[in-house]
Amino acid sequence: MVRKKVDDRVRTLIENGVQSRHRSLLVLVGDHGKDQVVNLHYILSRTQVKARPSVLWCYKKELGFSTHRKKRMRQIKRNVQRGLHDPDKDDPFDLFISSTNIRWCYYKETHRILGQSFGMCVLQDFEALTPNLLARTVETVEGGGLVVLLLQSVTSLRQLYTMAMDVHARFRTEAHGDVLARFNERFILSLADCRTCLVLDDELNVLPISTKSRALVAGPGVDQGALGAAEAALSDLKESVAEMQPLGALVSLARTVDQAKAVISFLEAVQDKALRTTVSLTASRGRGKSAAVGLCLAGAVAFGYSNTFVTAPSPENLETVFDFVKRGLVALKYQEHLDFEVVQAGHHRQGQQGGPDARATVRISVFRQHRQVIQYIAPHEHEKLSQAELVAVDEAAAIPLPLVKRLLGPYLVFLSSTVTGYEGTGRSLSLKLVAQLREQQGRAMAGTRKLKEVTLETPIRYAAGDPVERWLYAVLCLDAQISKHRIVSSLPPASACQLYQVDRDALFSYHKVSEAFLQRVMALYTAAHYKNQPNDLQLLSDAPAHRLFVLLGPPGSSSSPDALPDVLCVIQVALEGRISQASVQASLARGHRASGDLIPWTMSQQFQDADFAKLSGARVVRIATHPDAQRLGYGTRALTLLLEHYAGKMSPAPAVAVEVSDGAPREGSEGEDEAEEGEVKSKKSQLRDERLRPRQELPPLLMPLDKLKGRERLHWVGSSFGLTESLLNFWARAGMRLVYLRQTANDLTGEHTAIMLRALSTEGLEGKAVAGDWLAAFAEDALRRLVSLLSFEFREQLGTALDLAILNNVREGLAPPGPPITAKQLGYLLIPRDLERLHLYARNLADYHLITDLLPTLARVYFLRMLPASLHLSRLMEAILVGLGLRHRTVDQLARELGIEGDQILALFNKIVRKIGASMKEIGGQQEGAGVSAVSGKGMTHGPSKAPKKDQASVESTKSKGTAALNGSHAEKKRKRLEEERGEPPALLPIDPAQERSRDREKKKKKKDTIAVHAQTKSPSVEHNVISAVEFKKGTSPVVSPKKKDRKQKKHKKDSD
322, amino acid identity: F
180, amino acid identity: L
644, 751, 817 from 737: Cα distances, Å: 17, 18, 17
Cβ–Cβ < 8 Å for 642, 717: yes
> Which of these, 907, 909, 882, 906, lies nearest to 806 by C-alpha position?
882
Q: How far is it, in rounded angstroms, from Cα 767 to Cα 745?
A: 40
> Which of these, 57, 34, 47, 10, lies nearest to 196 by C-alpha position?
10
The answer to the question of whether 292 is labelled as a binding residue is yes
Task: Enumerate residues 6+ apart whose C-beta is below 8 A from 394.
Answer: 115, 289, 290, 293, 310, 311, 312, 317, 318, 321, 416
623, amino acid identity: I
The full 3-state SS of 84-111, as one line of letters, equals: CCCCCCCCHHHHHHHHCCEEEEEHHHHH
The answer to the question of whether 506 is labelled as a binding residue is no
Q: How far is it, in rounded angstroms, from Cα 638 to Cα 855?
A: 43
In the chain, which segments carry CATH 3.40.50.300? 237-456
Helix 319-331, helix 289-302: angle, nearest 10? 40
In the chain, which segments carry CATH 3.40.630.30? 481-661+699-784
- Given a cut of 50, the residues of the chain with pLDDT beneath it are 348-357, 663-681, 930-969, 971, 978-991, 1007-1040
Alpha helix segments (H runs only) across 647-793: 683-689, 725-733, 774-789
Q: How far is it, in rounded angstroms, from Cα 711 to Cα 956?
A: 67
- Give the model's pLDDT for residue 837: 92
- Give the model's pLDDT for residue 157: 83
The full 3-state SS of 684-704, as one line of letters, equals: HHHHHHCCCCCCCCCCCCEEE
624 strand-pairing partners: 570
The answer to the question of whether 624 is labelled as a binding residue is yes
Q: Which CATH architecture has domain 237-456?
A: 3-Layer(aba) Sandwich (3.40)
> Which of these, 530, 518, 523, 519, lies nearest to 427 by C-alpha position?
530
- Give the model's pLDDT for residue 658: 63
The answer to the question of whether 636 is labelled as a binding residue is yes
The answer to the question of whether 291 is labelled as a binding residue is yes
Give first-to-last CA distance, the chain, whole Å: 128
CA angle, corner 970, sides to 968 and 976, nearest 5? 100
- Give the model's pLDDT for residue 950: 42
343 strand-pairing partners: 363
In the chain, which segments carry CATH 3.40.50.11040? 8-215
Is the peptide bond prior to 246 cis by the omega test (within 30 degrees of 0)?
A: yes
Q: Spell 31-70 as b/e; 16+ CB within 10 A means b.
A: eebbbbbbebbebbbebbeeebbbbbbbbbeeeeeeeeee
Q: How far is it, in rounded angstroms, from Cα 298 to Cα 325?
A: 5
Task: Enumerate residues 6+ apart whose C-beta is below 8 A from 320.
Answer: 115, 116, 117, 290, 291, 294
The answer to the question of whether 632 is labelled as a binding residue is yes
The phi, psi pair for 672, rounded to 5°, reads -95, 130
The answer to the question of whether 631 is labelled as a binding residue is yes
Q: How far is it, in rounded angstroms, from Cα 964 to Cα 993?
A: 7
> Which of these, 746, 568, 743, lies nearest to 656 by C-alpha position?
568
Q: How far is it, in rounded angstroms, from Cα 758 to Cα 774?
A: 11
Task: Specify the fold of 481-661+699-784.
Answer: Aminopeptidase (3.40.630)
Task: Enumerate residues 6+ apart whose C-beta is below 8 A from 940.
Answer: 947, 948, 951, 1016
**3-state percent breakdown (helix, strand, coil) of the chain, nearest 5:** 45, 15, 40
Torsion of CA 731, 734, 735, 741, to 10 degrees: -10
The answer to the question of whether 289 is labelled as a binding residue is yes
The phi, psi pair for 441, rounded to 5°, reads -65, -35
Q: How far is it, in rounded angstroms, from Cα 740 to Cα 727?
A: 15
The answer to the question of whether 192 is labelled as a binding residue is no
The answer to the question of whether 358 is labelled as a binding residue is no
The phi, psi pair for 625, rounded to 5°, reads -110, 145
**Structure confidence by residue, pLDDT tens digits, 857-899:** 999 999 999 988 888 899 999 999 999 999 999 999 999 999 8
**Sign of the alpha-carbon torsion through 491, 497, 503, 504:** positive
Residue 470 DSSP code: H
The answer to the question of whether 925 is labelled as a binding residue is no
**Sign of the alpha-carbon torsion through 894, 897, 900, 901:** positive
Torsion of CA 511, 514, 517, 518, to 10 degrees: -90
The answer to the question of whether 633 is labelled as a binding residue is yes
Integer-rounded Cα Rg, in Å, for the chain is: 38
The answer to the question of whether 294 is labelled as a binding residue is yes
Q: How far is it, in rounded angstroms, from Cα 236 to Cα 238?
A: 5
Q: Which helix (H) or strand (E) holds 28?
A: strand 24-29
> How many CA atoms are closer than 13 Å to the CA of 303, on its beta-carbon side?
23
- Give the model's pLDDT for residue 767: 53
**Structure confidence by residue, pLDDT tens digits, 740-764:** 999 988 876 778 999 999 999 877 6
Task: Enumerate residues 6+ apart whose C-beta is below 8 A from 795.
Answer: 887, 888
The answer to the question of whether 958 is labelled as a binding residue is no
Task: Specify the fold of 8-215.
Answer: Rossmann fold (3.40.50)
The answer to the question of whether 114 is labelled as a binding residue is no
Task: Enumerate residues 6+ apart whose C-beta is below 8 A from 414.
Answer: 266, 279, 281, 293, 296, 390, 391, 392, 393
The answer to the question of whether 293 is labelled as a binding residue is yes
- Give the model's pLDDT for residue 460: 86
User: Around Cβ 742, how many Cβ atoms within 10 Å?
Assistant: 18
> Which of these, 387, 381, 392, lies nearest to 298 by C-alpha position?
392
- Give the model's pLDDT for residue 1032: 35
**959 three-state secondary structure:** helix
**459 three-state secondary structure:** coil
- Give the model's pLDDT for residue 1031: 40
- Give the model's pLDDT for residue 941: 36
